[in-house]
């Protein structure tokens, strides 16, 4: 990864460098102004840009899995999927590997290198927040299959959480009242 000082650059002059084994790097991600501008692939004799899709993730927000009813939160983002000027910062928010959860989808895209795009995803609802799961379910999902949850879905989730909180509070009050009546 290379953070550019200016947006105007000649990609033919961007050095690819070598990896820790001394072999030529195959991929280089060029970042400017907090956006990925280009992904370059080293074909050996030429370095060419390749198509890419940038996904910006906020772990505090809710996401849905496209073409399913799953609603939840992204819990872990692998280090290899993160870009940020400060490596130390990335290491505080990203993991180097993922837990061994069930994979719920796969990517149909073709890649030159193996760059698995799985993130750890906590499923809170499997039916677009019509109901909530009794216990969240942890799975692995392709980042390309995620989309931000809509406002109504998030509002419905918060309503369910408030109802659960109120029901628990009512149950404690009823128990307290029964104890008082018993004395």
* Residue 25, SS3 per DSSP: coil
pTM of the full predicted structure?
0.63
Cβ(29)–Cβ(39) below 8 Å:
yes
pLDDT tens per residue across span 74-89? 988 765 554 444 545 4
- Match 């029964």 to its residue by tokens: 178
Give the model's confidence band at 162: pLDDT under 50 very low, under 70 low, under 90 confident, else very high.
very high
Q: Can you tell me the distance from the alpha carbon of 64 to that of 70, in angstroms, rounded to the nearest whole number?
A: 5
Contact 113, 42 (CB under 8 A): no
In the predicted structure, residue 169 carries a pLDDT above the cut 60: yes
């Amino acid at each position: 990864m290379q953070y550019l000082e200016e947006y105007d650059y000649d990609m033919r002059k961007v050095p690819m460098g070598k990896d820790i084994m001394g072999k030529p790097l195959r991929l280089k991600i060029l970042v400017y102004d907090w956006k990925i501008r280009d992904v370059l692939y080293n074909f050996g004799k030429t370095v060419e840009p390749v198509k890419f899709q940038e996904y910006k993730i906020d772990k505090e927000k809710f996401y849905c899995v496209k073409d399913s009813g799953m609603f939840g939160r992204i819990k872990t983002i692998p280090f290899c999927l993160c870009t940020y000027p400060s490596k130390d910062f990335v290491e505080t928010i990203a993991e180097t590997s993922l837990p061994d959860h069930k994979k719920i989808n796969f990517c149909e895209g073709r890649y030159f290198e193996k760059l698995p795009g799985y993130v750890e995803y906590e499923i809170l609802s499997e039916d677009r927040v019509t109901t909530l799961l009794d216990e969240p379910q942890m799975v692995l999902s392709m980042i390309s299959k995620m989309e931000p949850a809509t406002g109504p879905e998030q509002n419905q989730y918060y309503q369910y959480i408030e109802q659960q909180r109120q029901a628990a509070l009512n149950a404690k009050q009823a128990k307290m009242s029964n104890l008082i009546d018993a004395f």
